[in-house]
Each structure stands twice: as structure tokens, then as C-alpha cells.
Amino acid sequence: MNAQGEDVVAGVRTPQTIDQLAEVMPEAYAQFVEICNKLEQHYRDMQDMEFTIEDKKLYMLQTRNGKRTAAAALKIACDLVDEGMISEEEAVCMIEPKSLDALLHPQFDPTALKAAKVVGHGLAASPGAACGKIVFTAEDATDWAQRGEKVVLVRLETSPEDIEGMHYAQGILTVRGGMTSHAAVVARGMGTCCVSGCGEIKMDEANKKFELAGRTYQEGDWISIDGSTGNIYGEAIPTADASIGGEFGRLMGWADKYRKLNVRTNADTPKDAAQARKFGAEGIGLCRTEHMFFDPDRIAAIREMIVSGTVEQRETALAKLEPMQQSDFEGIYEAMEGYPVTIRFLDPPLHEFVPTEEEDIQALAKEMKMDAEELKAVIADLHEFNPMMGHRGCRLDVTYPEIAAMQTRAIIKAALAVQGRHPEWELVPEIMIPLVGEAKELHFVKEIVVKIADELIAKSGMKLTYKVGTMIEIPRAALTADEIAKEAEFFSFGTNDLTQMTFGFSRDDAGKFLSAYYEKKIYEFDPFARLDQVGVGRLVKMAADLGRQTRPDLKLGICGEHGGDPSTIEFCHKVGLNYVSCSPFRVPIARLAAAQAAIKNPGK
């Protein structure tokens, strides 16, 4: 009362609640409520209205659709449907898919965030807010967290050894890396906040300190990072945990009713698969089998396989891997409750897996009963100038068919075991061969798979069908998709590699120069986060069409990180893919985006 709007905005006066107006000026209040209802009816949305009262006369100054938090957006959409004001389809289209992140991940306290100062910026690699004390190694992250401390792990870059520490950390901040490099992909899979590629940081890992914006940060200093914006704050900002209310389920139910695309998940462990199922995933679109060995007590086994110099050595290593894989596959089939599961053969870029630390090399040499110097020579021999285009994917199976044989056994034996336990499900394992660029190469690996799978199934006396397909992630595979489809029963577009190889820049290093491209308006967005529909998308569409010419019932999906991006999902809907696959925490976003794509593009 007796104040101007500006007084409120400036914080000079604290407004009373609106219902108090009913007591002081009942007539103006009644008129105000009537106008509010009329405006809300007219705009069919929650309004943010400005008014003033002078000499008891009410003046409306402005109205507009009100800003809202994600939780409020869901409540408003549901209320509007219940009041008969909007349809379910309109409600589905009212929600920004990416805003769901705020419901699924911790967020900063908004008032504290406003007062905080941004000291640096990196890539918004995995959403959510994290606040904790700085640690520089994964071991410290684990130790400190086990003592009850909240920590943020700050690294130059992450490697498979860091996985345990990443689990314990509130958030991960890296100096190097892009949207599809190790830290980003793994953090998204775990639902942990991550800011990657902050090149402004001058890192001194050896002395456990770094410099950013003129300040030196030491172990134990507080830091806060926002994985949804990429902002870094050199102070503690309180966070609030994620919370999902009842409206979320209702809106997701409507989304499921209208979408045409299926939504699967990229999950590598039974735990992630179960999480994704809770978020509504309808199967696994990508299980990166090399990720099953990130665990500290497992990584040695896969390293042993990689550095094996002879078939015998490799067979010994593979014999250690097989039971681990089989039991994980069983866990994943169980978690997916009969929904389709695509398991990809090993695709470890060597630079991510070959040991570099002296103590790891010593331990591995001991395990393999090898001399450490001899092992170092093997490792030096494995060095590749460009590991992303090196000896990975199906090239490993071509050189070492025993790897494909072991993985086929693990996949089929696990499927037979779970099928036996759950006769009510009809399991159809999908075996996916990665990094194929030539139909004959796929044919070669497929022959190994089919021989072993058929033998195992025949021996079991059970009935089990399986599919063999491939990833389309090399431009040559897209260009020759009609040939590839003669061998492949399904295609899954690996748009991380397809983007890398179509643009000709590395998914790990492009962050260093891409910012110059955004500044100069050459590129408008990160092609590793949102699909470049003009170029890479053309290859996807071409491959989809060519593949279906050869095999009309070819199943098509996408499993690159783009599979969780709303604009890419709309593209996938238009191109006629069967499903998108994304990390577990993006599944709700993908379900909503797929529904919006179907509603906006009827008849497609």
C-alpha cells in the first residue's frame, strides 16, 4: 500500500500478499480477480500481471506469460488440462524438454546463486549443480567422500582409473575435453554434474593446485560448478536435491501417448540400466562393453587383453573377461525386463585404456608374469598418432577374432540363462559391431558371431533368436549403407564418431578452437552436442534410405550423445528412425522431445 512498483523492484518495500488486498480494498480486489481470470482464459496460460491502484481505481499495466521453474511448469500444465483450458498435446508442448534437468539433478539455491561471482566457464557437459572441496585425484575424491566431505574432482582430463572417484564426487571439472570425451560421457551416464574443457585453468596437478582468474586454488578450497551452464564459482553455493512430483508422471504419461519414437538408453552396467528403466527407458540402445571394465579391480583384465602379444596371452586375458561380461549382461537383461538390449562389441580407443602410470604398469607386468621393461616396450609399440582413428572397433575383431568369439559367448550364454529364468520374456539380443566402414569387414565378424551363437543355442536345446547389426559412424558406412544392410539387421547411428569424421576434427580436441568459430558465427552450436543436420544429418538420412532400400524392415536408431538432444530428436522423428538412445538421466527429456516432435510434425 502507498508504494510504487519501482519500490518493490528496488527492494525498498516488501510487498504484502495479494489476498490482503481483499481486506483493504474488497472492490478493487474483486475486479482484479475477475480481470486475472479473463486474461488467463484468453491467453490460456499463467500470467505475470502488473497493476496499480490509484484513488481506489484499478489500472492494469501489463500482462505476459509468466516465467516459471520446471516444477511450476508441470503443475501449471496439469492444472490447465484439468480446468479444460488446454489439451494434453498442448500441455506436452508447453514444457521445454531440457528444463526437466532441473527436476532430475541438484540445483543451486537461486538467491545464493545470484550473489555468487562467476570466475570461469567451461562446457556444460553434464547438468546439475555441485558444490564441494577441491580434490585433484580420484583416490582423494574417494577418501575424502568416505570421510563425509563433499568434493569436486578437478582434473586435466579423466581416464578410466578415475571412475570410482567420479562416483564419489559431487561434480567433475576438467581442463581438457569436449562434449563427447570420456569425462562428459561417463558423467552424463552417472547423472553427475560435469563442466569440461575449461581451458582458462592453469593446472598444476603434481602440486595439487591450479590458477583461475588470477587466484590460486589449493586442495580443500571450496568451489561450485554448474553443469547446466558451464559456470564455475570460486566459493561454496548451497544446493538443493532433485525432487520429482506427481505432475511429472502425468505429463510423461501424455508424452508417451503421443510419441512415435521409442526411447532407449545408453547404459553399461546393470545399475545404470535399472536407473534408466525407472526413467522409462524401453531398452538399451548402446551398451559400451569396454566401460564394464572401468572398475579398479577389473581394469587390469582389459589392459591385459590389450597388451597381449600372443593368441595364448590374449585367450588367458579373455577368459578372465568372459565371466564378468556374462554376469553383467545377465544383470542388464534382468534390469530391462524383456525390452530389447543392444550390446556393442569392444571399442576401446587405446589411449583411454593403455596404462600410463608407473605403478599400474608394474602391477600389470606382475599379473602377466612379464618383465616391466618388456611391457613398457609393448606399450610403446601400441602408441598411435591418432587413436580415435586407430586400432579400435571391429578392427580389433578382424585382427583378433578371439575377441568377437568371447563376446558372442558371453552375450548368448547370458541371454539363454535369463530366458530360462524368465520364460515370460522373449529376449532377442542385438549384437552390434562398431566402426564398420566396409560390408566385407562386417561380414567377416558376423560369420564368427553366427557360428558361435548358433552352436550355443543348438546345444542349449532352447529357442533364442538374435540380431546382428552395426553402427553407422564412419562416413564410408553411410555412403555404402545399401551394401552394409545386406549384412546388418539393424543400424545404430554413432553420431559422435560420425560427427568427428565428417567434420574431420577430433571429438576430444575440437573444444580448443570451436569457440573461435562460434564468436565468428561460422558455427552456431557445438556439433558434438546438437546434430549438424545439414551435413552429418544428410549422411544419416542417406544411410537410412539406402539401408531400407536393401532391407525394408531394417531397424534404425541413434546412440551418439545427440540422441538426448531435443532438436536432434525432432530430426530423427522426421527421418523415420525407430528409436533414440541416450544416457539414463536424459530419458525423460527424450520422451518429451519425441512427443513434441510427433505433435509438431503430424503424418511423419
Judged by the rule CB under 5 A, the positions of this chain that interact with Mg ion are 473, 494, 497
Q: At what angle do helices 299-307 and 311-335 cross, to 10 degrees?
A: 140
Q: How far apart are CA 19 and CA 32, in angstroms?
A: 11
* Nearest residue (CB) to ligand PEP, 496 versus 568: 496
Q: Name the minimum Å distance from CB 225 to ligand PEP.
A: 23
Written in H, E and C, the secondary structure of 12-31 is CCCCCCCHHHHHHCHHHHHH
* Nearest residue (CB) to Mg ion, 118 versus 389: 389
Q: Which of 282, 280, 319, 328 is nearest to 301 (CA)?
A: 319
Looking at residue 133, what DSSP letter applies?
E
* Nearest residue (CB) to ligand PEP, 392 versus 413: 392
Which one of Mg ion, ligand PEP, none is in contact with 267 (Cβ closer than 5 to 8 A by kind)? none
230 makes contact with ligand PEP (CB under 6 A): no
**What is the contact mask toward ligand PEP in residues 486 to 525, using x (rule: CB under 6 A)?**
--------xxxx----------------------------
Q: Name the minimum Å distance from CB 392 to ligand PEP.
A: 8
Which one of ligand PEP, Mg ion, none is in contact with 560 (Cβ closer than 5 to 8 A by kind)? ligand PEP
Distances (CA, A) of 538 to 200, 311, 403, 475, 534: 35, 42, 34, 11, 6
CA R_g for the chain: 27
Q: Name the minimum Å distance from CB 528 to Mg ion.
A: 12
Say if CB 539 and CB 501 are below 8 A apart: no
Q: How far apart are CA 460 and CA 452, in angstroms?
A: 12
Written in H, E and C, the secondary structure of 181-249 is CHHHHHHHHHCCEEEECCCCCEEECCCCEEEECCEEEECCCEEEEECCCCEEECCCCCEECCCCCHHHH
Q: Is 572 a catalytic residue?
A: no
Q: Which of 131, 559, 572, 582 is catalytic?
A: 559
Binding ligand PEP by CB under 6 A: which of 394, 559, 577, 598? Answer: 559
Please give the backbone phi and psi of residue 224, each rounded to the nearest 5 degrees, phi first: -130, 140
* Nearest residue (CB) to ligand PEP, 485 versus 540: 540
Say if CB 217 and CB 209 are below 8 A apart: yes
* Nearest residue (CB) to ligand PEP, 178 versus 429: 178
* Nearest residue (CB) to Mg ion, 286 versus 595: 286
Q: Name the minimum Å distance from CB 266 to Mg ion.
A: 11
Binding ligand PEP by CB under 6 A: which of 347, 352, 430, 570? Answer: 347
Binding ligand PEP by CB under 6 A: which of 473, 483, 508, 526? Answer: 473
Q: Is 562 a catalytic residue?
A: no
532 makes contact with ligand PEP (CB under 6 A): no
Q: How far apart are the first and last CA of the chain?
A: 56
Binding ligand PEP by CB under 6 A: which of 68, 155, 288, 303? Answer: 288
Q: Which positions from 165 through 224 interact with ligand PEP, judged by CB under 6 A?
A: 180
Q: Name the minimum Å distance from CB 437 to ligand PEP.
A: 13
268 makes contact with ligand PEP (CB under 6 A): no
Which one of ligand PEP, Mg ion, none is in contact with 286 (Cβ closer than 5 to 8 A by kind)? ligand PEP
Helix (H/G/I), strand (E/B), else coil: 212 = strand
560 makes contact with ligand PEP (CB under 6 A): yes
* Nearest residue (CB) to ligand PEP, 300 versus 559: 559
Q: How far apart are CA 593 and CA 582, in angstroms?
A: 12
- The secondary element (H helix, E strand) that includes residue 162 is none
Query: Which residue matches cell numbers 607386468?
Result: 365
Q: Name the minimum Å distance from CB 393 to Mg ion.
A: 7
Written in H, E and C, the secondary structure of 337-353 is CCCCEEEECCCCCHHHH
* Nearest residue (CB) to Mg ion, 165 versus 494: 494
Q: Which of 78, 131, 182, 582 is catalytic?
A: 182
Q: Name the minimum Å distance from CB 62 to Mg ion.
A: 51
Residue 164 Cα to chain centre, angstroms: 18
Instruction: Report the amino acid identity of residue 386.
Output: N
Q: Name the minimum Å distance from CB 99 to Mg ion.
A: 29
Q: Name the minimum Å distance from CB 479 to Mg ion.
A: 17
Which one of ligand PEP, Mg ion, none is in contact with 408 (Cβ closer than 5 to 8 A by kind)? none
The residues, any chain, with a CB within 8 Å of residue 20's CB and separated by 6 or more, are none
Residues 258, 493, 287, CA angle at the centre, nearest 5°? Answer: 90
Q: Quick one: CA torsion of 231, 235, 240, 241, rounded to 10 degrees?
A: 70
Helix (H/G/I), strand (E/B), else coil: 464 = coil
Q: Which of 510, 414, 514, 502 is nearest to 464 (CA)?
A: 414
* Nearest residue (CB) to ligand PEP, 347 versus 532: 347
Distances (CA, A) of 210 to 23, 89, 138, 217: 59, 50, 16, 5
Q: Which positions from 89 through 148 interact with ligand PEP, judged by CB under 6 A?
A: none
286 makes contact with ligand PEP (CB under 6 A): yes
Query: Which residue matches cell numbers 557445438?
Result: 526
Q: How far apart are CA 162 and CA 141, in angstroms?
A: 9
Q: Name the minimum Å distance from CB 567 to ligand PEP.
A: 17
Say if CB 483 and CB 442 are below 8 A apart: no
- The secondary element (H helix, E strand) that includes residue 471 is strand 467-472
Q: Which of 581, 500, 538 is nearest to 179 (CA)?
A: 500
* Nearest residue (CB) to ligand PEP, 101 versus 473: 473
**What is the contact mask toward ligand PEP in residues 430 to 469, using x (rule: CB under 6 A)?**
----------------------------------------
Which one of Mg ion, ligand PEP, none is in contact with 508 (Cβ closer than 5 to 8 A by kind)? none
Please report, as ranges, the residues that interact with ligand PEP according to CB under 6 A. Answer: 180, 286, 288, 347, 473, 494-497, 559-560
Residues designated catalytic: 182, 559
